[in-house]
Structure 1
Amino acid sequence: MQSRTTDNRRRPIRRRWFAVSGLGVAGLAAALFLAPADGLFGNPAAGSARDGGSTGAGHSSAPSAATPSAGLPSPATVRKAAGPAAAAPTRVSIKAADFDVRVLPLTVSEDQFASGLLVPPLTLEAYWLTNYGVPGRGSVNTTYIAGHSLDGGDAPFNRLSDTGLVGKPVTVTTAKGVLGYVVDSVTTYDKNTLKDSDIWSVAPNRVVLISCYTQDPWGKNVVLTASPRR
């Protein structure tokens, strides 16, 4: 997106954060809208994402407007992770995209789920949604990691809007070790359809990165999915 400033000599470019509003419908500033999390709260049997328990969150219906680079594998076909046991992610990198970010935990409260709104910190780091899954051997749910794109500057998540990343390796570092993944798909969604997309299906071992699509940051989100390498 081009800066609205027409004369950079007189008016410096203003850097503006684009929301990772894609956990639901369109949002502005730092608004992040969540898909419903049925069974996430008030259900002790669901377990917590921190200890690998299932959250029961996610939807299986396809989006009404999406531009996929490759089909999203069904949850049943996602390969199981080998190596370290499932644990909190601390870093994620994609060498082909010059993408290497620290991952910090972000827990969605019951009130935030009830309102459907979450405001992540405005930083260059990535944020793992602790209410969902963790990556690694024994994973029981999808791992979601979100981050901001940046207008008027460079941010790591700006580099995910590239369908050429399909098939490229992804490295996820966790509290238990290092895991290897491969990019399955890079897909853009209208922000008002993402909350109903199949990315919310429970898919153990799948890692999902979400940000704003750099070519249409106000209207679309980009979603990168990855599964364990063979």
Structure 2
Amino acid sequence: MSEHSGKKSLNKVGNLDSALAHIHDGSTILFGGFGGIGNPPTLINGMIHKGVKELTLIGNDAGFPTIGIGKLVSLARAKKLIVSHIGSNPIAGKLMIDGKMEVEFSPQGTLVERIRAGGVGLGGILTDVGINSMIEGGKQRVTIGDKEYLLETALTADIAIVYAKKADTFGNLIYETSARNTNPLVAMAGAYTIAEVEEIVEIGQLDPEQIVTPGIFVDMVIQSKGVDWKWVWE
């Protein structure tokens, strides 16, 4: 487990301002989502309006220039990305080539496992993906039996931001279809996890069989204001 306290308030509902008070220049932020689907739009727009910069962003991808986490990237608010690809955001590619943003690439499955490892308190994982390729990059090799593996370190962050369909006031989360993607793992790996949700209900109103992320991993729940579709389609 990450640094979540065993003692939690029963009511974790906050607002955007209280959530943004935890996010500062230089923060390391884990974000859920895949190509924008499952990125928390209200939190991302809030970070843009607050003006935070020099961020290290960890997640599946760099989004699109005007969709999801890509909006922060396109505004040059990130000093570093740890992602599986940036191909959907050409601005990210230009920032990398111009030396204005560092990008650490991690194969998608490896990246997800590194986040999972961070969430459950492991130091890293062993994988044979990337041996003798640019991914290896001087990483430690470990031999088990007659097979070699790369040691990939676990990933954690100061803040984890996730997007869910429903939450109760304790922070138990239910996701909707493909928006679930990396969100459950990201929620576990932040020292402080903020969940943006479409609907907030009282404790006891969620079907326990549908809960994916237990509230013990969530520090704050905020109401989503929805996707800013003007940003998406322009």
TM-score interval w.r.t. the shorter chain? Answer: under 0.3
Name the TM-score, length of structure 1 as normaliser: 0.26
| TM superposition score normalised by structure 2 | 0.25
Which structure: greater helix fraction?
Answer: 2
